[in-house]
């Protein structure tokens, strides 16, 4: 494992956007901090074999890239711009929302593997210690924070840390082990496939296209290097009952769309159809006195929001500020972070409600009936508990 220290100020579990955002922010504010990032998977690889879903970065993300001090380096990466979003939602006509008229300018269609690698490099440049193919074997609370055991292959190492950041995604693995509860709002999944256009192919659009139908909605966007992503968002049982993970069935469903199929003219599939969880979820509690969650571990959004990567950047940044307060002995940082995350969840829930309610063409569809039912009964913001910050393990 070859760690530089046996004691760290902050241990970050996870190696994605939120984890790197937190690590970078911590080192920006206190370069002498000893920060260790632990990632279960190998270091992400760039290129065709590293295709990953989650590629849209909204226009207003630039302010957090600036605050992290990575904006100039990000611009040099040459990621493709996204100039707007088009949607056939509520009716079959296409409506356009061009970023040209946004005060934040354009967004980006990212090579997600390349962006993750970029964030890792920025963390390493700030002397964040990182170990890949490593996982948390065990942890116990001690006077000065935590004693943890890390496992990498056959090697196990014990170390001390003052604070732990859970950036393990929807699993919220560490927070769950401390008694936190994951509140799942729906059963949305994304059935997706990557495609590739021939060299020199003229793009019909560089933006995102959303198209709703009876069983869910389609998402498609151009990526870098002639690649293209199509995803169908529906509920897990509907994906299973309609065999949407079968390549032939997936293609048949694309062929009856009005707009999405036109964007695939001339494209060839890159691999088979895959499926990923896309449900909305929030964690309660979101933090305690010596740990907190960021990214999808603290809350995950419906892809309809196109704010997943934005949330990863912002929650990692704000989480780091809360940790800094704890390490400095400043009171209130954890509570402020939780209030901010609760506020963001409230805003997200309201917008999600409003947007799904705009689609009224399929009143008999189970998918849309469930959205209406869930949205009408969604009182989760009133159910949020106020955590006891003097406890480190809270059973709910």
pLDDT score recorded for residue 200: 61
Strand arrangement of the beta sheet that strand 95-98 belongs to: 95-98, 84-88, 208-213, 216-222, 227-235, 188-196, 268-277
DSSP string, 161-196: EEEEEE--GGG-HHHHHTT-EEEE---EEEEEEEEE
pLDDT score recorded for residue 324: 98
Those residues of the chain that have pLDDT short of 70 are 45-55, 83-84, 98-106, 200-206, 373-396
The neighbouring-strand residues paired with 164 are: 11, 291
Three-state DSSP at 215 gives coil
pLDDT score recorded for residue 80: 75
Joined tokens for residue 239: 């994906």
Joined tokens for residue 378: 């969604």
pLDDT score recorded for residue 316: 98
Joined tokens for residue 388: 């006891």
pLDDT score recorded for residue 255: 96
CA angle 24, 26, 29 (to 5 degrees): 105
pLDDT score recorded for residue 212: 97
| Gap between the Cα atoms of 148 and 198, Å rounded | 50
pLDDT tens readout for residues 63-93: 999 999 999 999 999 887 776 688 999 999 9
E-only strand ranges, the chain: 7-13, 35-38, 56-57, 80-82, 84-88, 95-98, 107-109, 129-131, 135-142, 145-152, 155-166, 181-184, 188-196, 208-213, 216-222, 227-235, 268-277, 281-284, 291-293, 299-300
| Gap between the Cα atoms of 377 and 372, Å rounded | 9
pLDDT score recorded for residue 203: 55
User: What's the distance, Cα to Cα, between the start and end of the chain in Å?
Assistant: 36
pLDDT score recorded for residue 45: 65
What torsion do the CA atoms of 40, 43, 45, 51 make, to the nearest 10 degrees?
A: 20
Three-state DSSP at 347 gives helix
Q: At what angle do helices 17-29 and 112-125 cross, to 10 degrees?
A: 20
Q: Are strands 145-152 and 155-166 parallel, antiparallel or unpaired?
A: antiparallel
pLDDT score recorded for residue 57: 81
| Gap between the Cα atoms of 97 and 220, Å rounded | 15
pLDDT score recorded for residue 380: 43
| Gap between the Cα atoms of 42 and 219, Å rounded | 29
Chain center to CA of 309: 5
């Amino acid at each position: 494992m070859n760690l530089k220290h046996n004691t760290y100020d902050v241990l970050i579990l996870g190696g994605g956007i939120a984890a790197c955002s937190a690590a970078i922010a911590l080192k920006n504010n206190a370069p002498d901090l000893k920060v260790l990032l632990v990632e279960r998977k190998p270091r992400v690889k760039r290129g065709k074999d590293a295709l990953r879903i989650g590629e849209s970065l909204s226009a207003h993300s630039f302010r957090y890239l600036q605050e992290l001090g990575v904006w100039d380096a990000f611009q040099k990466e040459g990621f493709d711009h996204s100039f707007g979003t088009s949607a056939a939602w509520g009716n079959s006509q296409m409506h356009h929302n061009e970023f040209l008229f946004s005060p934040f300018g354009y967004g980006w269609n990212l090579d997600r593997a390349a962006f993750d690698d970029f964030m890792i490099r920025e963390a390493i440049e700030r002397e964040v210690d990182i170990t890949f193919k490593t996982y948390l074997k065990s942890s116990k609370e001690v006077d000065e924070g935590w004693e943890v055991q890390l496992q990498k292959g056959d090697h196990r190492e014990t170390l001390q840390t003052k604070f732990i950041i859970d950036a393990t995604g929807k699993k919220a693995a560490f927070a769950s082990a401390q008694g936190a509860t994951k509140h799942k709002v729906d059963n949305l999944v994304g059935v997706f496939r990557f495609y590739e256009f021939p060299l020199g192919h003229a793009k019909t659009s560089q933006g995102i296209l959303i198209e709703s139908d009876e069983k869910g909605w389609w998402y498609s966007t151009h990526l870098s290097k002639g690649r293209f992503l199509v995803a169908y968002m529906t509920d897990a049982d509907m994906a299973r009952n309609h065999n949407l993970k079968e390549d032939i069935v997936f293609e048949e469903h694309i062929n009856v769309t009005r707009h999405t199929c036109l964007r695939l003219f001339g494209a060839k599939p890159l691999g088979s159809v895959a499926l990923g969880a896309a449900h909305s979820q929030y964690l309660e509690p979101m933090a305690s006195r010596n740990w907190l969650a960021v990214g999808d571990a603290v809350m995950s959004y419906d892809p309809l929001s196109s704010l997943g990567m934005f949330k990863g950047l912002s929650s990692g940044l704000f989480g780091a500020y809360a940790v800094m307060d704890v390490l400095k002995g400043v009171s209130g940082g954890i509570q402020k972070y939780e209030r901010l995350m609760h506020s963001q969840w409230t805003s997200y829930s309201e917008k999600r409600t409003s947007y799904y309610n705009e689609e009224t063409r399929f009143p008999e569809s189970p998918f849309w009936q469930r959205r209406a039912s869930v949205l009408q009964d969604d009182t989760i913001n009133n159910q949020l508990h106020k955590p006891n910050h003097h406890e480190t393990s809270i059973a709910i």
